[in-house]
Amino acid sequence: MKRSYRDIETMLREHFAEEVRLVESALGGAAAETEVAGRRDRAKSKRLQPAGRLAYAAALALVVLSPALMWMSGRRSGALERNVGRAWIDADMPARVENALRAASVHLGPVGNNNP
Amino acid sequence: MRERNVQLMSEIARYRSRLIVYVRSWGAPLAREAEDVAHEIIERAIGRIDRFDGEHALSTWIYSLAGRYCADRFRQSGRRGRIIQLHAPELASKRPSRAPEEQVERAEARAAVNEYVASLDRTDRRIAFLRFFEELTLAEIAHAVQMPLGTVKYRIHVIKAGLREQLEAGEADQAQGGRR
What is the rounded average pLDDT of the residues A17-26?
A: 86
Note whether B167 contacts A: Cβ–Cβ < 8 A: yes
What is the rounded average pLDDT of the residues A54-72?
A: 84
Asked if B17 lies within 8 A of A1 by C-beta distance, the reply is: no
Name the amino acid, one letter, at B77. Answer: S
pLDDT attached to residue B142: 93
Asked if A21 lies within 8 A of B31 by C-beta distance, the reply is: no
Sign of the dihedral through C-alpha A53, A59, A61, A63: negative
Which chain B residues are closer than 8 Å to A14 by Cβ? 110, 113
Put simply, the chain B residues between 59 and 78 with a CB less than 8 A from any chain A CB are: none
Q: Any idea which of A71-80, A92-101, B90-99 has the lowest mean pLDDT?
A: B90-99
Sign of the dihedral through C-alpha A51, A52, A55, A58: negative
Asked if A20 lies within 8 A of B113 by C-beta distance, the reply is: no
pLDDT attached to residue A45: 59
Asked if B163 lies within 8 A of A12 by C-beta distance, the reply is: yes
Note whether B114 contacts A: Cβ–Cβ < 8 A: yes
For residue A32, the distance in angstroms to the closest alpha carbon of chain B comes to 16
Residue B41 Cα to chain centre, angstroms:
16
Give me the half-sphere count of Cα atoms (radius 13 Å) on the Cβ side of residue B35: 10
Chain-wide mean pLDDT for chain A?
Answer: 72
For residue B1, the distance in angstroms to the closest alpha carbon of chain A comes to 31
pLDDT attached to residue B81: 46
When comparing pLDDT for A80 and B137, which is higher? B137
Q: Has residue A110 got a pLDDT over 70?
A: no
Asked if A15 lies within 8 A of B113 by C-beta distance, the reply is: yes
Q: Any idea which of A12-21, A70-79, B4-13, B57-66 has the lowest mean pLDDT?
A: A70-79
- Kindly give the residue spans of alpha helices, DSSP state H, lying in chain B: 2-13, 16-24, 31-47, 58-76, 89-93, 100-119, 122-132, 138-145, 149-179
When comparing pLDDT for A7 and B106, which is higher? A7
For residue B176, the distance in angstroms to the closest alpha carbon of chain A comes to 14
Q: Has residue A34 got a pLDDT over 80?
A: no
Give me the half-sphere count of Cα atoms (radius 13 Å) on the Cβ side of residue A7: 14
Interface test with B, best of A13, A16, A33 (most B CBs within 10 A): A16
pLDDT attached to residue B163: 92
Q: Whole-angstrom Cα distance, residue B151 to residue B126? A: 13
pLDDT attached to residue B178: 61
Q: Whole-angstrom Cα distance, residue B91 to residue B89? A: 5
Asked whether B127 and B141 are in contact (CB, 8 A), the reply is yes
pLDDT attached to residue B94: 47
Calculate the dihedral angle through the C-alpha atoms of B32, B38, B39, B40, rounding to the nearest 10 degrees: 110
For residue B61, the distance in angstroms to the closest alpha carbon of chain A comes to 20
Q: Whole-angstrom Cα distance, residue A80 to residue A71? A: 14
Give me the half-sphere count of Cα atoms (radius 13 Å) on the Cβ side of residue B68: 10
Q: Which residue of A has its CA nearest to B156?
A: A9
Asked if B114 lies within 8 A of A2 by C-beta distance, the reply is: no
Question: If you write DSSP's letter for every residue of A46-106 in order, what string do you get?
Answer: HSPPHHHHHHHHHHHHHHHHHHHHHHHHHHHHHHHHHHHHHHHHHHHHHHHHHHHHHHHHH
Per-residue pLDDT tens digits of chain B, which is 180 residues long:
677 888 888 888 888 888 888 888 776 656 678 888 888 999 898 888 888 888 888 889 999 999 888 888 877 665 544 444 444 444 444 455 567 777 787 888 888 898 899 889 888 999 999 999 999 999 999 999 999 999 999 999 999 999 999 888 877 777 776 665
Q: Whole-angstrom Cα distance, residue A42 to residue A34? A: 12
pTM for this entry: 0.60
When comparing pLDDT for B74 and A85, which is higher? B74
- Tell me which residue of B61, B78, B74, B88 sits closest to B25, measured CA to CA: B74
Q: Whole-angstrom Cα distance, residue A8 to residue A11? A: 5
Note whether B132 contacts A: Cβ–Cβ < 8 A: yes
Note whether B108 contacts A: Cβ–Cβ < 8 A: no
Question: C-alpha distances in angstroms, B127 versus B62, B76, B132, B133, B138?
Answer: 14, 23, 8, 10, 9
- Tell me which residue of B94, B116, B114, B92 sits closest to B104, measured CA to CA: B92
For residue A62, the distance in angstroms to the closest alpha carbon of chain B comes to 50
Asked if A20 lies within 8 A of B128 by C-beta distance, the reply is: no
